[in-house]
Amino acid sequence: MTEPYLQVKNLNVSYAAIPALANVSIDLAKGERLAVIGESGSGKSTLAMAIAGLLPKQARSSGTIDFPGLSHSPKPGKDIGVLFQDPSGSLDPVMKIGDQIAEVAMTHQGISWIAARVRAAQLLDRVRIPKPLSRLNSYPHEFSGGQKQRIAMAAALAGNPSLLIADEPTSALDTVVQRHIVDLLDELVREAGLTLLFVTHDIALASERADTIAVLYQGRLVETGPTVRVLGEPEHPYTRALINTHISLDTPRAKRLAEINVADL
Amino acid sequence: MPPIVSFFLRRLLGALPVLVVVLVGSFLLLEAASGDAVDSYVARSGAMDAEQMAQLRQDWGLDKGPLYRFRAYATALAEGDLGWSTSFERPVASVIFERLPITLLLMGVATALAFSLGSFLGILAGASPGSFRDRFLSIASLAIYAVPGFWLGLVLIVIFAVDLRWLPVGGIETIASGKSGLARLGDIAAHLILPVASLAMVYLVLYLRLMRDRMSEIWRDPFVSALEARGISRSRIVWRHVARNAVLPVVTMLGLQAAAMLGGSVVVESVFAIPGFGRLAAEAVARRDTPLLLGVILCSAVTVIIANLLVDLAYGKLDPRVRAGR
Amino acid sequence: MNVWRRLNLEARIGAVMLSILVLMALLAPLIAPGDPLAITGEPMVRPFASEAHVLGTDRLGRDVLAGLLHGTRTTLLVAFFSAAAALIVGSIVGTLSGYLGGFADTVLMRITEAFQTVPGFLLALAAISVTGPSVPTLIFAISLGNWTQAARVTRAEVLSLRERDFVAAARTLGMRPLEIAFREILPNAFGPTVSLAAISVAAAILIEAALSFLGFGDPNRVTWGSMIAEGRTVLRAAPYLSIVPGIALVITVLSVHLIGRGLSRRERLVP
């Protein structure tokens, strides 16, 4: 077996004595696309932020997160790009978007400001912002939510990272836009051969786009494996329950959740 | 017409009702005074018989009703005539325009100093809220905020002019120094140091606190963690992003503080014997020169309105969201 | 002592300082009996040089400590009442403006704007020139330039309260608009306005000091501002005459700010 790109071992994270992640271990191969699924509060975002090295100061953690695929410890922006849920919150409201992308390129690639601006225009083009050269000087409020998420994507990729972490990147957008963003994300990841970890509560999305799925429940990793296997023959009752709730979204929530019996877990 | 000019004109037109309220209000207030300009003129210039006084009242329109006088005043005002100063025996407008530049210079330098140094120190404090540096600056600024400008001026005079003899005690320049050009500029600058410091100190710490408080709020904005995730250096996040966002409300304060600073210049100019607009206000009150006082009030209102306009223009340049909305 | 426990350290220090000042004001006639403007000793005695005059005497031989103590009375009296007047007038104007809306709102806000456009200190000067200096006219003159912020804050609060359920309920109960405005809305809008109290008191103290420094204060009373002005004439020979009352001013304003910060922080915690 080849050496994994990312290795998480016995990771525990807690906020003020309230555990958010308990004993999570997971491997990620280079170029693999992993979907982390679970309901809100399951710890899936915490896992993503822990790997990105962005846990808040008050969080306490133990365990190891190693990057055997890298010769050095990962630098945010340079090795890991992060895409957040809220596109408006990802951009500085009073700085030109071109400058926000360029500053990432300049920081991590040691290129001049002019070269960084050129790179910013190329990235805007790659994320399908029309007329990228003239839009460099636009401000975030001049774009729609979907466009802002594309710009955030450009900024996340500006440092040429090898791992992209996306924390529910589409849940703040409407359905049609979601589809475009997901397609674009998929395409960029394939083109650049990126390793992708994306957090979602959308099982359909995970089944379409992920090679591997990890299911989190109450801070614990209850099941992990290839997408087809996890979704086709779920071993854990919680996974089964999740799949069922997805299939019958019309049934009342109380009834859907009734199938998740804590005693079974 | 360039958009900036039309914006300026539109705003001035919008300020007109406010100016009318100021005019009517201050006219009414000063009408309520017991004794008129003739009484105070006589009190100052010595004996005058009843007939002369009646003649003077007629000349100054004081024998007519207040409504008549208001109409006369407003008509003259529309032509740029602010009336006759009874104590200077000159047109009010010429007295005011002689005094105004000095005060504008004083206020301009004080504002520039307070804003630049205040926000710089505010950034140092707000760069890491809760740190020792932040707590030190916060406590120091709170203490300085309680210091009245005119008293600070006296303390500075005692230290720098009386004891150390580094700087002049007062005035705007050395009288009959025969200096010209750069030497004269340097002389004026030396005279300005202490008054500017006394006037600016309160605003300096005010801007420091504002900047610091706003920055500590902005640190919690999600875009800051997005920047951290992109590996942007800490100093760049502090100076180019957090401080840049935090400076906007501080700029708004500049306009709001224009009126307060103009009021402050009254006392500071008196302390440093600077023949400016502020001291003119005190003189108008002391000499019961009602037309002059009315002119001073109107001119300070116009000054404040223009200062606010300039601040709004600057704000529009600084905040792209406002620029688009205009 | 429930209030005490809820104050933070800063506010506690401020409260202690202000209590001492109030005590000084109350006990002034006991500690320093007689007229503080009376000449009681040699002129220009240095501080701590004489037991009879702990803080020394001024140019004319008046006791500095007596002046300081009696000055506390003037300062606190004028500051408290003018801040109270400013807050009351401001919140009434703000309530009317916010609740009535429409034309009344436009007119009231123009007037508020006009008052904000003229420097408050200049307004106070003009008012004093009309009324002549005395404690009540000083209170009036200072509050003239001090009420606008309260009006704005109250108006904003009223605008947000106007559509709440309890107002609608009062309306269905058949209460008249002004009754609703002043019995239902104003009491609820008062919270944020009270947090302005400290700023208003501090501003009033400083304006009163500046006015009396310029010689527009009540001539029959000792004030810190007039003491500073008095000392200024002998600034070279006896700087302490101006410096000592100034320190008293700084301490008073600081104590008010400390309390205000403590209060406003609690205001923020309690929704």
ipTM comes to 0.87
Q: Is A204 helix (H, G, I), strand (E, B) or coil?
A: helix
- The arithmetic mean of pLDDT across residues C169-187, rounded, is 79
* Phi, psi torsion values for C169, nearest 5 degrees: -60, -45
User: Which of A50, A8, A48 has the alpha carbon at shortest distance from A28?
Assistant: A8
CATH class for the domain made up of B95-323: mainly alpha
What pairs with residue A164 in β-bridges?
A81, A196
Q: Indicate whether A62 pLDDT > 90.
A: no
Chain A positions in Cβ-Cβ contact with residue B318 (cut-off 8 Å): 94
Q: pLDDT tens across A124-177, in order?
A: 999 999 999 999 999 999 999 999 999 999 999 999 999 999 998 888 788 888
Residue of B22, B150, B285 with shortest CB distance to C125? B285
**pLDDT value of position C212:** 93
Q: Indicate whether C166 pLDDT > 50.
A: yes
In percent, the amount of chain C with pLDDT more than 70 equals 96
In percent, the amount of chain A with pLDDT more than 70 equals 92
Chain B positions in Cβ-Cβ contact with residue C243 (cut-off 8 Å): 154-155, 158
- Rounded distance between C-alpha atoms, residue C129 and residue B293, angstroms: 10
- Rounded distance between C-alpha atoms, residue C22 and residue A195, angstroms: 70
Locate the chain A residue with the closest alpha carbon to B244: A94
- Residue C9 contacts by C-beta under 8 Å, 6 or more apart in sequence? none
Q: Indicate whether A71 pLDDT > 50.
A: yes
Q: Starting at the earlier edge strand, list the strands of the sheet with A59-66.
A: A18-28, A6-15, A59-66
Q: pLDDT tens across B263-291, in order?
A: 999 999 999 999 999 999 999 988 888 88
Top mean pLDDT of A69-73, A225-229, A252-256, B265-269 is at B265-269
- The arithmetic mean of pLDDT across residues C70-90, rounded, is 92
Average pLDDT, chain C: 85
A163 touches chain B (CB under 8 A): no
Q: pLDDT tens across A203-250, in order?
A: 888 888 899 999 999 888 989 999 989 888 888 888 888 888 765 444
pLDDT tier, B242 (very low <50, low <70, confident <90, very high otherwise): very high
> What is the amino acid identity at position C78?
V
Asked if B293's CB is within 8 angstroms of C126's CB, the reply is yes
Asked if C129's CB is within 8 angstroms of B285's CB, the reply is yes
- Rounded distance between C-alpha atoms, residue A16 and residue A20, angstroms: 10
Q: pLDDT tens across A179-210, in order?
A: 888 899 989 999 888 999 999 888 888 888 89
Bridging pattern class, strands A6-15 and A59-66:
antiparallel
Asked if B30's CB is within 8 angstroms of C125's CB, the reply is no
More confident residue, C268 or B195: B195
Q: Which of A54-58, C2-6, C55-59, C229-233 has the lowest mean pLDDT?
A: C2-6
**pLDDT value of position C265:** 57
Enumerate long-range contacts of B170-173, CB under 8 Å, 24 or more apart: B170/B271, B170/B272, B170/B273, B170/B274, B171/B272, B171/B273, B171/B274, B172/B102, B172/B274, B172/B275, B172/B276
- The arithmetic mean of pLDDT across residues A114-126, rounded, is 94
Indicate the DSSP class of residue A73.
-
- Rounded distance between C-alpha atoms, residue A61 and residue A80, angstroms: 20
**pLDDT value of position C118:** 92
**pLDDT value of position B13:** 84
- The arithmetic mean of pLDDT across residues A51-65, rounded, is 86
Domain ranges in chain B? 24-91, 95-323
Locate the chain B residue with the closest alpha carbon to A139: B320
**pLDDT value of position B304:** 93
In whole angstroms, how far apart are CA A105 and each of A80, A132, A156, B1? 13, 16, 10, 42
Chain B positions in Cβ-Cβ contact with residue A75 (cut-off 8 Å): 231
Q: In chain B, which among 243-302 make CB contacts under 8 A with chain C? A: 256, 259-260, 262-264, 266-267, 270-271, 281-282, 284-286, 288, 293, 296-297, 300-301
**pLDDT value of position C42:** 78
In whole angstroms, how far apart are CA C14 and each of A114, C4, C196? 55, 12, 16
Q: Indicate whether B325 pLDDT > 50.
A: no
The structure tokens 């300039």 sit at: B310
Count of other CB atoms within 10 angstroms of residue A88: 17
Smallest Cα distance from A89 to chain B, Å? 5
- Rounded distance between C-alpha atoms, residue C247 and residue C238, angstroms: 15
| H or E stretch at A60 | strand A59-66
B140 touches chain C (CB under 8 A): no
- Rounded distance between C-alpha atoms, residue C109 and residue B89, angstroms: 38
pLDDT tier, C78 (very low <50, low <70, confident <90, very high otherwise): very high
- The arithmetic mean of pLDDT across residues C204-233, rounded, is 91
Number of B to C CB contacts under 8 A, please give it: 138
**pLDDT value of position A9:** 87
**pLDDT value of position A248:** 46
Locate the chain A residue with the closest alpha carbon to B324: A142
Chain B positions in Cβ-Cβ contact with residue A139 (cut-off 8 Å): 320-321, 324
Q: Indicate whether C209 pLDDT > 60.
A: yes
Instruction: Give the max Cα distance, chain C.
Output: 74
What HEC string does C196-239 produce?
CHHHHHHHHHHHHHHHHHCCCCCCCCCCHHHHHHHHHCCCCCCC
